[in-house]
Structure 1
Amino acid sequence: MELEETLGLQEFAKILKKRSWLIIILTVISIAISAGISFYALTPVYEAQTQILVNQNNSAEGVYSWQTTETDLRLINTYNVIITSPVILTPVIDALDLNYTPSQLTQQISISNENDSKVVTISVEDSNPSKAAEISNKVAEVFKEQIPHLMSVDNISILSAAKLSENPTPVKPNKMLNVAIGGLIGIMVGIGMSFLLEFLDMTIKSETDVEDYLELPVIGMVDFIKEDKQKKFSLNLRKARRS
């Protein structure tokens, strides 16, 4: 069993070595294609985040009860739905004069908050970093203004507004990751093509192939005679004939 496994690994390595040129070429081509698409074809996408705090107004005695905290946490799930609803996004579109519909704008917005945290993060992705920050901040502002009318509560405050950095970095695409994935795909395709070509190659190259394909026993072999040995053999043959 161990001998068969060793022979299998040797054949595997032999095929990879034989077709290494194909694997290298396909890997280089795949890396070049993925790099070209990532660096020149895909539009960079930037992200801006605004954080809001869900927090009931304190009572006159300054006591903040456990029940109030539980109420705020339960409301967060409802707020997450309201933030991306047309009630909030339509005024945002009008205020910023955006060429989006509420459903299109929803695709650019994601809402998140940590477990048992009353901080809600509004994340907006856009090809324009400045527009992403404007949308994120405006969504938070409109939500803060509208929530008292929608739910008769006033427990929203803006904790951290989105700001445009001097050198914004896109969050998409991940160029290096795409190149690495392209290289991995090239290697896998190259290995697959190598074994496919080897499987389709029906030429007989060794005595093992004769036994496998023709089912005939090998009783003798004619080895290849190198040129120097062939000359030496011919010279000896002439001498033998003269004598």
Structure 2
Amino acid sequence: MDETISIKDLLQTFKKHWMIIVLLPLLSGIISGVISYYVLTPVYQASTQILVNQKDSDDLALNATQVQTNVDLINTYSVIIKSPAILEKVVKELHLKQSVGALNQQVTVTRQENSQVFSLTVQDTDPDRATKIANTLSVTFQKEVPNLMNIDNVSVLSKAVLKENSAPVKPNPQMNILIALVIGLMVSIGLAFLLEYLDNTFKNESDIEKDLGLPVLGSIQKASRNYKDGF
């Protein structure tokens, strides 16, 4: 016969293992908070915007074609801006300690659909260095792309600005703690049910009847000690 779990059984399981259900999520949240605040290195972010455009023309049809061409070229620009030909110059100009490959991992290029503007984002453990890398990379790309593609249609729309009291983009301690609490709660509930499943002791008369199929003829009540009577 299939066993069913009633709400009463669930509540009894929670009551019996409440310490595990409460303490394990709290411990997970505390550990996550300590790691997020004191172990992980903060990472800061700086962004610039680059505009791809063409020189003015009186032909409206030609302008529409040029705009679409510029939009299509952004994918190519995204590859060029992260290429060694550009990144090596940035490393040399700023005297960066990281390699070209490491710098490539710090740079992200994001384009907006059907737009001639794309964003260049740099993440670094130093907010000032992140700002300098973003601006230097934008200017270097603007200078070098005419030589690489024989075109002159790139301009820096906005520069990265170092803000006072810049907040890191990661880690996010609040989010990490929340995730740890949820995971800890799920694990603690699962552990509570596992312990209950592995516990094969009889707790009352109904357990004997259910598991052994035998009727209960009598029971012995637990007597309290009466010190006045000498027991």
TM-score higher than 0.5 here? yes
Match of 2:83 in 1: 85
Comparing 148-157 with 215-224, which one deviates more in the overlay? Answer: 215-224
Structure 1 unpaired stretches of 5+: 235-243
Match of 1:241 in 2: none
CA RMSD of aligned residues (A): 2.0
Shift of 1:199: 1.6
Shift of 1:62: 8.3
Structure 2 unpaired stretches of 5+: none
Q: Residues 164-206 of structure 1: CA distance to partner in whole angstroms, max 9, x if unpaired?
A: 0011010001110001111112211211121122122222111
Identity %: 42
Q: Which amino acid aligns with 2:133?
A: I
Distance in 2 between residues matched to 1:100 and 1:224, nearest whole Å:
74
Comparing 151-160 with 12-21, which one deviates more in the overlay? Answer: 12-21
Q: Give me the TM-score of the superposition, normalised by structure 1.
A: 0.87
Match of 1:109 in 2: 107
Distance in 2 between residues matched to 1:135 and 1:173, nearest whole Å:
21
Comparing 163-172 with 208-217, which one deviates more in the overlay? Answer: 208-217
Q: Which amino acid aligns with 2:100?
A: P
Tell me if 1:224 matches 2:204.
no
Q: What is the DSSP-based 3-state SS (H/G/I as helix, E as strand, rest coil) of the residue aligned with 2:136?
A: helix
Give the greater-gyration-radius structure (CA): 1
Structure 1 residues 155-234: aligned runs within 5 Å = 155-226=153-224
Distance in 2 between residues matched to 1:215 and 1:97, nearest whole Å:
81
Distance in 2 between residues matched to 1:201 and 1:116, nearest whole Å:
63
Q: What is the DSSP-based 3-state SS (H/G/I as helix, E as strand, rest coil) of the residue aligned with 1:198?
A: helix
Residues 132 and 153 of structure 1, relative CA distance in 2, 3 Å threshold: same
Residues 48 and 62 of structure 1, relative CA distance in 2, 3 Å threshold: farther
How many equivalent pairs are there? 226
Q: What is the DSSP-based 3-state SS (H/G/I as helix, E as strand, rest coil) of the residue aligned with 1:217?
A: coil
Q: Which amino acid aligns with 2:179?
A: I
Distance in 1 between residues matched to 2:163 and 2:59, nearest whole Å:
38
Distance in 2 between residues matched to 1:34 and 1:77, nearest whole Å:
39
